[in-house]
Amino acid sequence: MGAVAVAIDVPRANADWTIAGFVGAAHTLDSSIRLIQPADLTDVTLSPVSYRSESFELPIYYGYRVGVFPGSRWFGVEGEFIHLKVIADTSRQPVAGVLERFSITHGVNLVLVNAVVRHPLGDDDRRPRWLLTGRLGAGASVPHAESTIGGVSLEQYEWGSFSAQAAAGVELRLGQRVSLAGEYKLTRTVQDVSVVRGSVNTPLTTHHLVAGLVVHLGARHESARRNTVIPCVQKEGGQCVRS
């Protein structure tokens, strides 16, 4: 009985770091506006309020994210920023009688942390051409509200409210490290922003359709050489046969 050492190349998966950027369109559902102005003894709720997004007018709708998928590369964590706009229709009652202007055009600016799952389509799990993706996210917001009440305007950035999203999409690999991505998102946030002599509270539920590019910075497998000892039986002539 003897032994022989054999060198074996063992695949070792690196973490997949990704950077993505996207543009698209958003539609915010009709909502309500609650205007509170303590100095004027005003506390009024306006409903329904129609919002438009003007996603392709400057500043346009956009977003980007950075993520990491360690180990199996099918589960990961991301940081994501979404520049979403809402513009209230103040030309109709009941809004017209109270607000001359209300919008958040320099962004509701959702800042989210996502849990992500990816699923390959096809037989090649190491380099799939198609990926299905799903993500759940939660975080904060940094809105820039613009308002005019009684001829007086106020515009400013401020810390906003809790925000959440659910999303599902697909990625198509275009090359070694670049993929084309399309995604549907549903976001929810209840913004409480400053206006002249008070504040406005408005729930925002928004549908998004986006498309963009994903760059994979570490999606590769490296080989790690490992020495393995295999027992064998020594035969005549010095030939070693595995037992």
What mean pLDDT is predicted for residues 86-90?
95
CB of 199 within 8 A of CB of 192? yes
SS3 21: strand
Residue 191 neighbours by CB distance under 10 Å: 21
Q: Which two tokens stand for residue 15?
A: 């973490």
Mean pLDDT of 99-109: 94
Confidence (pLDDT) at 176:
87
Pair 162, 140: CB distance under 8 Å: yes
Q: Quick one: DSSP state of residue 25?
A: E
Lookup: tokens for 190: 């209840």
- pLDDT reading at 19 higher than 50: yes
Which residues have CB under 8 Å from 54's CB, separation 6+?
85, 87, 105
**pLDDT reading at 222 higher than 60:** no
Give the model's pLDDT for residue 236: 54
Quote the CA–CA distance of 17 and 10 in Å, as a whole number.
22
Is 39 in a helix, a strand, or coil? Answer: helix
Mean pLDDT of 199-211: 97
**Tokens (6 digits) for 180:** 């084309």
- The whole-angstrom separation of Cα 198 and Cα 162 is 20
pLDDT for res 122: 75
Q: Kindly indicate the confidence band of residue 200, based on its pLDDT and cuts at 50, 70 and 90.
A: very high
With a cut of 80, say whether residue 2 has pLDDT above it. no
User: Mind listing the domains of the chain with CATH numbers?
Assistant: 13-222 (2.40.160.20)
Q: What is the Cα Rg of the chain in Å? A: 27
More confident residue, 206 or 16: 206
Quick: pLDDT tens for 37-67.
998 898 999 999 999 999 999 999 999 999 9
The pLDDT of residue 72 is above 90: no
pLDDT tens sequence across 134-143: 999 999 999 9
